[in-house]
């Protein structure tokens, strides 16, 4: 048999497979089908309805309300899986005891999802599944049936054909195609087939002409867009890469940005969120809620100290395009834009249309004589194990030691007497009841058993309130999170600790671990500096360290007021570096301090010929969820909470937002 005959057999086989899975329902019977779904009180039936001169997904009361001829909905259907505001759990303000939010048990049917929104849900699935699954998202996702509909009218902003998302062959339970007096219904899952069998009457199998018609419609849809890319969209990741540093380009394109967040809030693949505590008025119970957030908003990357890691409109504007077109592509292998055009249509100054921006970028790259080739498909290795637990473990403050006017050391014991089980350099999310959660690095070494310590500065709401708590008071603990220092890799090495101010807090965990296993490590130097003598942390411990023959310890203050006593070095931390001797090839420098400190310390270490891969830094960002989901701690493509907070300098020196 020749090749063509084989191919013909394949096509026939495919057609019979399609025919088996494609059903036909007259429009009257389809209305009956929808009405019988609506009438089943065990189901929550959602459909596309008109809202003013626009459309929105909402609860259906009858098939008459359904508008399958819509162009685009105001918000994508993700709101049913990842709602604008969602209670994660509630807890008692008095003792922190939590009760899980009762799960929504009602099965949901969503009718009228366009293919691009189905692809977007697939992106959301991947994002919420990575590392650990988000149970709140998947609980709703798994109890929902998606009835898609092929696009009949395309919004003028839609460019889904260019993103390969105008039609879809997966991700739905049923997919409708309007064939005039009837719907062709492709059955995409067993769930979909069962729904149709149970609620629809007079279902027939599709005839060849129906299958041909559906194919024809789908080909027409691909040509319906009013938008036009001047280049193949698989160039986007490389194009972005080449344009990152063109600050003029980003300033010009974001000049009119209102920082209103509309583009990200209406996006079907945006998933950033904030977490807040909301007590009831009787001050008995508190709900911990999560709400949509957006990286375009001014305070998105701001931390309690007031430091904003993405403070300007151009940098936030750029971040959005990079997140969609580069960072998620590198991580998941897809450009996380489905071409729905919602961002374009919701931007009043009209600067959010990705088609316009990428076309400009493409032409600019041609003008600059750049040759842009499609990026190789990244190696995607998404691991997922278990569920995220947003509910903290209860713990008790067993010791409180005021260190300075603004900093206190808390010793905390988990109420179930378990160990926190952390590695040096990791952090925990500490809950103060009624106020909220904050990421705090663990100051004690894992060699200390039974309890752990955190050294906390009064900065924001959580840390301010934490300072008012007494020994015996309860807190909540999630974690440990982050990678921590690789204590094994550092074995046998010489270590140079450089700590500025509160940067000593995470470094102390490693430093004390090294002291507890002193014979495993080589020469140890600790350089510690702060603003003035009264701000020195762990002063007694430091004095003890200074007496140890096996540690070279130096400390400094930036200045010393007349009324304070200080016999040591005066000057910024870098003034200590020339005072210590070390072998640059053997030493590993471990650096933590305020954001401004890194580049000076690193420059001086490089001046002393310390190789880049011998410099290890611990970074601070707004780590809200701790599990690589909420987006706040992101530095370009990395999540500090998950990929960090400890980084080898050689790995991040090329990452512009890092230092």
Q: Which is nearer to other proteins, 190 or 282 (CB)?
A: 282
| Residue 149 near residue 167, CB atoms below 8 Å | no
Q: Which is nearer to other proteins, 220 or 280 (CB)?
A: 280
How long is the chain? 659
Question: Least Å distance between CB 435 and other proteins?
Answer: 5
| Residue 112 near residue 68, CB atoms below 8 Å | yes
Question: Least Å distance between CB 625 and other proteins?
Answer: 18
Question: Least Å distance between CB 280 and other proteins?
Answer: 8
Q: Which is nearer to other proteins, 43 or 56 (CB)?
A: 56
Packed helices 354-367 and 236-243: angle between N→C axes, nearest 10 degrees: 60
Question: Least Å distance between CB 566 and other proteins?
Answer: 34
Question: Least Å distance between CB 179 and other proteins?
Answer: 31
Distance, C-alpha 555 to centroid of its chain: 38
Count other Cβ atoms within 10 Å, centred on residue 494.
Answer: 19
Question: Least Å distance between CB 150 and other proteins?
Answer: 24
Question: Least Å distance between CB 312 and other proteins?
Answer: 10
Q: How far is CA 346 from CA 48, 60, 340, in A?
A: 19, 25, 12
Q: Which is nearer to other proteins, 12 or 258 (CB)?
A: 258
Q: Which is nearer to other proteins, 119 or 466 (CB)?
A: 466
Q: Cα(202)–Cα(354) distance, rounded to whole angstroms?
A: 45
Q: Which is nearer to other proteins, 258 or 374 (CB)?
A: 258
Site residues, other proteins (CB under 8 A): 51-54, 56, 74-75, 79, 84-85, 255-262, 265-266, 276, 278-279, 281-283, 291-292, 294, 297-299, 313, 346, 348-349, 434-435, 460-461, 464-465, 468
- Tell me which residue has tokens 């934490």: 466
The string of DSSP codes covering 364-421 is HHHHTT----PPPPP-----EEEE---SPEEEEEEEEEE-SSSEEEEEEEETT-----
Question: Least Å distance between CB 121 and other proteins?
Answer: 18
Q: Which is nearer to other proteins, 79 or 651 (CB)?
A: 79
Q: Which is nearer to other proteins, 193 or 434 (CB)?
A: 434
The string of DSSP codes covering 561-589 is -TTS---SEES-GGGGGGGS---TTTEEE
Q: Which is nearer to other proteins, 460 or 584 (CB)?
A: 460
Count other Cβ atoms within 10 Å, centred on residue 66.
Answer: 21
Q: Cα(196)–Cα(205) distance, rounded to whole angstroms?
A: 12
Question: Least Å distance between CB 299 and other proteins?
Answer: 5
Q: Cα(636)–Cα(470) distance, rounded to whole angstroms?
A: 40
Question: Least Å distance between CB 432 and other proteins?
Answer: 9
Q: Cα(205)–Cα(180) distance, rounded to whole angstroms?
A: 17
Alpha-carbon Rg for the chain in angstroms:
29
Q: Which is nearer to other proteins, 76 or 164 (CB)?
A: 76
Packed helices 354-367 and 247-254: angle between N→C axes, nearest 10 degrees: 150
Phi, psi of 100 (to 5 degrees): -65, 140
């Amino acid at each position: 048999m020749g090749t063509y005959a084989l191919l013909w057999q394949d096509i026939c086989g495919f057609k019979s497979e399609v025919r088996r899975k494609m059903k036909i329902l007259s429009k009257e019977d389809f209305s009956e089908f929808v009405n019988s779904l609506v009438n089943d009180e065990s189901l929550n039936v959602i459909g596309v309805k008109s809202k003013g001169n626009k459309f929105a997904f909402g609860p259906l009361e009858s098939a008459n309300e359904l508008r399958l001829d819509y162009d685009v909905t105001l918000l994508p259907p993700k709101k049913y899986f990842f709602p604008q505001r969602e209670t994660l759990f509630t807890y008692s303000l008095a003792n922190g005891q939590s009760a899980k939010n009762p799960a929504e048990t009602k099965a949901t049917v969503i009718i009228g999802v366009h293919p691009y929104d189905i692809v977007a849900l697939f992106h959301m699935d991947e994002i919420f599944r990575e590392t650990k699954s988000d149970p709140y998202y998947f609980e709703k996702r798994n109890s929902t049936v998606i009835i898609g509909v092929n696009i009949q009218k395309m919004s003028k902003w839609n460019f889904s054909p260019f993103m390969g998302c105008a039609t879809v062959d997966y991700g739905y339970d049923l997919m409708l195609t309007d064939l005039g007096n009837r719907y062709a219904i492709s059955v995409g899952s067993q769930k979909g087939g069962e729904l149709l069998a149970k609620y629809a009457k007079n279902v027939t199998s599709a005839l060849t002409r129906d299958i041909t018609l559906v194919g024809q419609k789908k080909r027409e849809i691909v040509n319906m867009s009013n938008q036009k890319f001047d280049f193949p969209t698989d160039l986007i990741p490389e194009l972005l890469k080449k344009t990152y540093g063109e600050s003029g380009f980003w300033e010009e394109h974001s000049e009119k940005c209102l920082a209103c967040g509309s583009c990200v809030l209406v996006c079907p693949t945006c998933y950033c969120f904030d977490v807040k505590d909301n007590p009831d008025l009787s001050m008995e119970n508190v709900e911990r809620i999560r709400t949509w957030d957006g990286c375009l908003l001014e305070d998105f990357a701001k931390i309690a100290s007031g430091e904003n890691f993405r403070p300007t409109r151009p940098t936030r504007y750029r971040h959005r395009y990079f997140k969609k077109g580069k960072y998620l592509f590198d991580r998941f292998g897809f450009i996380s834009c489905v071409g729905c055009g919602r961002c374009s249509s919701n931007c009043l100054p009209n600067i959010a249309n990705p088609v316009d921006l990428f076309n400009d970028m493409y032409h600019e790259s041609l003008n600059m004589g750049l040759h842009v080739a499609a990026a190789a498909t990244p190696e995607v290795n998404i691991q997922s194990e278990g569920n995220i637990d947003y509910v903290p473990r209860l713990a008790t403050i067993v010791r409180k030691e005021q260190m300075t006017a603004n900093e206190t050391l808390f010793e905390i014991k988990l109420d179930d007497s378990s160990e926190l089980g952390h590695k040096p350099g990791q952090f925990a999310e500490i809950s103060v009841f009624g106020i909220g959660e904050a990421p705090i690095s663990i100051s004690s070494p894992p060699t200390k058993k039974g309890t752990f310590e955190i050294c906390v500065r009064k900065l924001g709401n959580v840390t301010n309130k934490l300072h008012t708590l007494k020994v015996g008071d309860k807190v909540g603990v999630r974690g440990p999170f982050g990678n921590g220092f690789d204590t094994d890799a550092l074995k046998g090495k010489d270590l140079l600790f450089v700590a500025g101010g509160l940067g000593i807090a995470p470094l102390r965990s490693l430093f004390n671990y090294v002291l507890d296993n002193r014979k495993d490590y080589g020469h140890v130097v600790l350089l510690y500096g702060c603003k003035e003598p009264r701000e020195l942390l762990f002063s007694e411990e430091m004095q003890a360290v200074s007496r140890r023959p096996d540690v070279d310890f130096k400390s400094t203050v930036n200045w010393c007021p007349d009324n304070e006593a200080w016999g040591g070095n005066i000057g910024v931390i870098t003034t200590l570096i020339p005072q210590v001797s070390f072998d640059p090839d053997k030493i590993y420098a471990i650096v933590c301090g305020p954001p401004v400190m890194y580049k000076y310390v690193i420059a001086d270490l490089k001046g002393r010929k310390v190789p880049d891969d011998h410099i290890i830094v611990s970074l601070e960002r707004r780590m809200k969820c701790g599990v690589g989901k909420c987006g706040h701690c992101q530095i370009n493509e990395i999540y500090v909470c998950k990929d960090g907070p400890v980084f080898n300098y050689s790995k991040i020196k090329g990452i512009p937002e890092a230092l």
